[in-house]
A and B are shown apart, each in its own frame.
Chain A
Amino acid sequence: MSIFSLILRNLHYYRKPYLSILAGTVISTAVLTGALVVGDSVRYSLIQLTDIRLGKTRFVIESGDRFFRQQLAGELTLHTKNLVAPVLQLEGIAVNTDKNTQLNRVGILGVDDNFIKLWDTQTQLPGEDEAILSRNTAEKLNLKTGDEFILKIRKLAKASSNAPFVSETEPLVIFRLKVSAIADDQQMGRFSLKSNQSAPYNIYISLAAMCQKLELTGNANLLLITDTKSEDLTIPILDSLLQLTWQIEDAGLEFRKLTETGSFEIRSGRIFIDDTISQAIKTSITTAKPVFTYLVNAISTGNKSTPYSFVTALDTGLPGIQLSEQEIIISDWLASDLLVKPGDSITLTYYKMGPLRKLTSDSTRFCIKTILPVTNPLFDKTLMPDFPGMSDAGNCRDWETGAPVDLDKIRDKDEEYWNEYRGTPKAFISIPAGRKLWNNAFGNATAFRFKVDYSEINEIKIALVNQLKPSENGLVVKDVYSEGKSAAANSTDFGELFLSLSFFIIVAALLLTALLFSLHAQKRMSETALMATLGFHKKLIVRILFLEAILVVIAGSILGVVSGIFYNSLLLLGLNTLWQDAVNTSTLQMHLKPSTLVLGFAAGVIASMLTLLFVLLQNLRKPLSVMIKGIEIQSPATNRSRKKISFSIAILFFIAALAIILYSIISTHAGVSAPFLIAGGLILVAGTAALYGLLLHANQKTKSELPGFLTLILRNINLKRRRAVTAAALLAIGTFTVIITGANKKTFYGTENSRHSGTGGFLFWAESTVPVLYDLNSSEGKEKYGLSDETTLDNVRFLQMLRLDGNDASCLNLNQVSQPAILGINPEYLDKQQSFSFLKLESAVSSQHPWLALSTPLAPGIIPGFADQTVIVWGLQKKIGDTLFYTAESGKVFGVKIIGGLANSVFQGNVLISAELFSQYFPSVGGSSVMLLDGEFTKRTQISDRMTYLFQDYGMVITPASERLAQFNSVESTYLSVFMLLSGLGLIIGTIGLGVVLLRNLGERKQEIAIYQAIGFKQSYILKLILTENLYILLAGMGIGIIAAFAGILPSFLSPAFQFPVTYLSAIILLIFLNGFMWIYFPIQTVMRKNLIQTLRKE
């Protein structure tokens, strides 16, 4: 006989206990492997999704709200030798009037044949009045091929709607389209540049038709670039190719010859010329002089005033006339109107425009340097920029200035001036003075003028275009494919997540395995000792038992890996269906990586073997003389010392838990759950140790000759106290976990009015497809949008936010996000309301007025920002004090330093900065497409209805703030549900452990029970005795778990918003008890039914 054959013989003989150990290993390995495979599967699915959403696109050139020539695509195709597709990408509202369905914030993509070529599809480009709908859009709108629907597209002009004196155009272009095809995910239906697993709503229409309808013919704002011909396209290469191919028109600039003077002028379609472009013009055309023309509300002196006049700041270049910053040249027309002469003072009154078209009036006094006839060539009508709504107006009263015009002030002579001289400036000031007065983020020049020979103009254009940088003009090259793959590869680690969620089930399975192995090892204790007496060295004995166990564990782990695959498919099924709230997609597919399966197998083997090795070595520590007898009787001294150690541990851990709780409450960390959970964990250990100590204490305590019922119970439990305490510990952990999970399920309803809650006390969160340009709290804003007459909305306050679109960093997006969307908010408003709560703040930030910290830049190019703490940690994988970098509209990179983390809020997914600082970096973001509404709770339905009605053309979606928060919380709640389900399974395993202990104990106590029967104990008394013993374990375990859990959920209790789910938790506790009771009662009944006296007879 060899060692190996002995092992095989042992395995065969002890197959039953080994099969139970195998089952434990299968469970732990399956759960481990399943969790790891879920991680791979989610990551793989997200990576696959990058291909699905991008097709053959590898790089993009985006310009956002700016436009460039479509021909740029063709020119880049020539240089890159790759397909480049021009796209006009905007947002819109789709309405199916037949079915009364509407979809807001739909992605509208104007595409040509090149776009279709990016996908393996036979889809035909839609005709002029046709559209292709993504499958989800069609389903949402209840449309099929051939149906017609209304499409409202947000109209964009070249000039920013937020620039001074740019009139507000009609917000939407509306047209009826026929569905020509429905695109599935694989056939461009899921096109999106955002790394997000949620399917976007897309509508594809003909680029040419879209441009025509939006008066943007020949323009695009997105280029999609493939990389099929060569594999060496990179961002720097594309940057240099773009620099090579782009033209001044792509920067929105226009050259024109001024016929009257023969000089040339550079203008911008955006009216104001960006400072970076101004600088480039000055560098490339040294003779170019800036022109800065502005509309002033009044030019006045004394009681005389001339309304609404253009004043130009320029380098006059007039011989003999040098203007200081305080001097002004006026026309004789103005001089006669105001009755002024050189040396007199006049005052210019003008508007400056802030975010949400907030106008502030300002005025500056000037001294008249000279008066020139209006016929002087200096008074040039072409100095007036092409303000839409003004340049083409027939008379002053028809002006659409984007600023209030008091028509009563316009006199007949003003109309006459307009008729004769149009927008000819009535006065001139110096360029430095103009910049000082009218400085704005869009630029401090409206034109540049220079004299040059016509033959040189092309050279000048080339010099200028070389000087301009596409990135500084909003044309940004992005490696969307690599970014997408990277975002997916670094996405939320579901393997780690599910390992955490499955933690208890793994621990329970391992503890059960340990318990079973311990019982098995105890059973074979005398056999082990015998081998030692026969001269087997301890190492050899360990080797034999270890090899036996490892064969079982290996077999169990192999089966576990197979079961893990099945378990993973169940988890994925759950995530794609029941738990979809957690992942926001239903497209997760299984992906098996051999390395992960090997890892799962190895982890299963190692975890189980370490557990078994620990048990084995614990058992072999006993003296051989004790082991050979098969029972261990501890000396009273040992028991006393163990009791002391147990109670010391219990007291120490309990005090530590108490200290943590008190410290957390006192140090205002009461909202942070981690310390309380740690305290709960410490109480678990303390409780278990106390139980062990109490059992030892009960064993020593009674000196009376006749033990009472309770003493007898405690003595009986004490005989196998390790088993009892292990079973109780399993139950305690299970109860703790399930209660913690159950109690922490979000209970946010009913907290709407709390300013400190995640809703900030706001009633609604509103998002619109078309931005609202005016401040709805102002009378002008109310007037503009028809709110003035709405009594329901009288007391409604609006927190309007500016939004920079970006990736969603909320928990709804699984991908790792580096540049989340930015919201520009009004810090003073939130400070006044004391809205929302913070989990963490940088030390320099006032805890009393945290919001105000957003108002001041931290350093040049670094501004402060807040985000939800969960977003900072999970979405961005950052911490407080870290900085996120963005590219401003000017092409300059700036940083947003995260100085505080909000408690779970409706802002989740966004970074919050001050609206004022936002406008400095993104001046073109002209309006608010996101807002929070504050109003009377009782009128919430009416408010929602009226707002929806009034802003229907803006595609406004009004969501109760609590509902938005609930959506975020649903992710957490779903995870908690998964955790609770898995913990519940773990608890079942725990109670199986209790059942196993009980069965084993009963098996060993058959003789004892028979003796009870033989000496005349009634059957009911014996049943009561054994039942109570086991109920004691059950209740002790549950009790420890409940106390520990209550410590763990203390932060929730301290929160005024928390509603203790009494019924829910009572039901859980009752279920745990009933489950445990079942595992106790039925085995006892089975044993008691047998005639145990037979056992004695056999003896």
Chain B
Amino acid sequence: MLAELQHITKYYGQPGSSICNHVLKDISFQIANNERIAIVGPSGSGKSTLLNILGTLDKPSAGKVVLDGNAVDQMQEVQLAEIRNTFLGFVFQLHHLLPQLTLLENVMLPLLPRNDHQYKVSANERALKLIDRVGLSNRLHQYPSQLSVGECQRTAVVRALINKPRLLLADEPTGSLDAANADQLSNLLAELNREQNVAMIIATHSMELAKKMDKIYQLREGRLVIS
């Protein structure tokens, strides 16, 4: 199993108190290799929280996250960073490209923490291929401010894939895009899943995007329901 959530609970505030916000309640599910899962639900239902916990950006109040057979709660900060660098890929609603770097440099950014020179050389080739794949090869040296929002988001996708992650986590990836760009990105993600051999969990409002996934989970009142 690629990843597994076991009885994940997340709340904010003191449990039992009137202002305790119970966001996730005893959520468990598994993700297989190359699997594509969509998590849908209304705003504030905890989709992003769930993704953050799975992506080790946040800690659950209770429960266990297992990535590639390893329990995350046992990991040190260094191991978590390595997991995020090699095993996971992130795409957010906003592209979060660094404005000071060009498109290519933004894509290559995840290689910086790695010391393997050979790997970096091969990653460079892969970056160029991926950029070409998303149709941005003519924009390699452009800065984010010179790109459209859709182009930025595609760049963010390439950046997420540059280290060949096995699990891509996308939080409302089309949320900031217009319909055409959103559709283009939905298709791209679906294609990249196959081409790059990467599993995906996408938190989205968009049922169109969700429908392109293998499974759709719904988050309702903190509980995950398969639809």
Q: Which A residues contact B (CB, under 8 angstroms)?
A: 1-3, 6, 9-10, 12-14, 526-527, 529-538, 540, 623-625, 628, 635-637
Contacts and interface: CB of A to CB of B under 8 A. Distances in A.
Contacts of B49: 625
B135 interface: no
Given A1-B101, A13-B100, A637-B12, 19 more contacts: A1-B112, A6-B101, A12-B100, A13-B99, A14-B100, A530-B96, A532-B57, A532-B84, A534-B90, A534-B109, A537-B77, A537-B78, A537-B82, A540-B81, A624-B57, A628-B96, A636-B19, A637-B14, A637-B17
B182 to A, nearest CB: 19
Nearest to A624: B57
Interface string B8-37: 000011100101010000000000000000
A412 B109 CA distance: 124
Nearest to B98: A527
B82 to A, nearest CB: 7
Interface string B136-156: 000000000000000000000
B13 A635 contact: yes
Given A1-B108, A625-B58, A636-B19, A537 B81 contact: yes
Contacts of A10: 100
Interface in B31-74: 48-49, 52, 55, 57-59
B81 A532 contact: yes
- Name which of A533, A535, A623 has the most chain B CB atoms within 10 A of its CB: A535
Contact of A1 (B58, B78, B86, B105): B105
Contact of A533 (B48, B55, B82, B94): B55
Contacts of A2: 112
Contacts of B164: none
Nearest to A526: B96
Nearest to A534: B110
Contacts of B84: 532-535
Which 7 residue pairs across A and B have the least CB separation, nearest first? A535-B85, A13-B100, A537-B81, A625-B52, A624-B57, A625-B58, A534-B110
Given A533-B84, A534-B85, A625 B57 contact: yes
24 contacts: A1-B109, A3-B112, A12-B100, A13-B99, A527-B96, A530-B96, A533-B57, A535-B82, A535-B83, A535-B84, A535-B113, A536-B113, A537-B81, A623-B58, A623-B59, A624-B52, A625-B52, A635-B12, A635-B21, A636-B13, A636-B19, A637-B12, A637-B13, A637-B19
Nearest to B58: A625
A13 B100 CA distance: 6
Contacts of A628: 57, 92, 96
A1035 to B, nearest CB: 33
Contacts of A527: 96, 98
Contacts of A3: 112
Interface of B: 12-14, 17, 19, 21, 48-49, 52, 55, 57-59, 77-78, 81-86, 88, 90, 92, 94, 96, 98-101, 105, 108-110, 112-113, 159, 163
Contacts of B17: 637
A9 B19 contact: no
A535 B163 contact: yes
Contact of A623 (B57, B98, B110): B57
Contact of A535 (B48, B59, B86): B86
A792 to B, nearest CB: 86
Contacts of A538: 77, 81
A576 to B, nearest CB: 49
A536 B13 contact: no
A527 B58 CA distance: 17
Contacts of B78: 537
A540 B86 CA distance: 16
A535 B81 contact: yes
Contacts of B113: 534-537, 540
B55 A534 contact: no
A3 B108 CA distance: 12
A624 B112 CA distance: 19
A91 B52 CA distance: 89
Contacts of A532: 57, 81, 84
A625 B49 CA distance: 8
Nearest to B108: A1
Contact of B112 (A6, A533, A623, A635): A6
A92 B28 CA distance: 104
Contacts of B21: 635
Contacts of B163: 535
A538 B12 CA distance: 24
A12 B105 CA distance: 15
Contacts of A533: 55, 57, 84, 90
Contacts of A534: 84-85, 90, 109-110, 113, 159
A116 to B, nearest CB: 74
Contacts of B19: 635-637
A536 B81 contact: yes
Given A535-B113, A625-B58, A9 B85 contact: no
A530 B97 CA distance: 9
A624 B49 CA distance: 11
Contacts of A530: 96, 98
A3 B99 CA distance: 16
Contact of A9 (B58, B77, B94, B101): B101
Contacts of B100: 9-10, 12-14
A536 B13 CA distance: 30
- Name which of B94, B96, B159 has the most chain A CB atoms within 10 A of its CB: B96
A3 B78 CA distance: 18
A623 B55 CA distance: 13
Contacts of B159: 534
Nearest to A2: B112
A307 B90 CA distance: 122
A898 B41 CA distance: 83
Contacts of A537: 77-78, 81-82, 113
Contacts of A623: 57-59
Contacts of A624: 52, 57-58
Contacts of A14: 100
Contacts of B94: 526
A792 B188 CA distance: 110
A623 B85 CA distance: 18
A924 B130 CA distance: 104
A1048 to B, nearest CB: 41
B14 to A, nearest CB: 6
A637 B82 CA distance: 33
A402 to B, nearest CB: 94
Nearest to B77: A538
Nearest to B91: A533
Nearest to A630: B94
A725 B96 CA distance: 30
- Name which of B19, B49, B57, B94 has the most chain A CB atoms within 10 A of its CB: B57
A894 to B, nearest CB: 70
A526 to B, nearest CB: 6
A531 B113 CA distance: 10
Contacts of A637: 12-14, 17, 19
Nearest to B105: A1
A13 B106 CA distance: 14
A636 B13 CA distance: 8
A558 to B, nearest CB: 24
A2 B109 CA distance: 9
Contacts of B14: 637
Contacts of A636: 13, 19
Nearest to B12: A635
Contacts of A536: 81, 85, 112-113
B98 A625 contact: no
Contacts of A13: 99-100
A9 B82 CA distance: 25
Contacts of A6: 101, 109, 112
A3 B109 CA distance: 10
A635 B98 CA distance: 29
A900 to B, nearest CB: 61
